Amino acid sequence: MSASLKDIEEKALTLKAEERARLVESLLETLHAHRSDIEAAWESEIQERLAAFDRGEMPSYPAEDVFAEARQLTR
């Protein structure tokens, strides 16, 4: 942990419980905003892969084969 992060943590711990809760909520909101960007990127990727599959540009594999290979790899 960096010295500045440790300083911030020590100062945050001196806050009242309600103030700490508001700080946590504020920090989590910044992470959720980033998560939305990630989810949007995944949604775009999913749509692109689905379109490629529908056009016949992406192969498919039987689920049984995929699970059999997964079991083989985990042994």
The pLDDT tens digits for 10-65 are 999 999 999 999 999 999 888 877 778 888 899 999 999 999 999 999 999 999 99
Distance CA 72, CA 55 (A): 31
Distance CA 32, CA 39 (A): 10
Sign (positive/negative) of CA torsion 71, 62, 39, 25? Answer: negative
Model pTM?
0.46
Distance CA 10, CA 14 (A): 7
Q: Where are the domains of the chain?
A: 3-73
Distance CA 12, CA 4 (A): 12
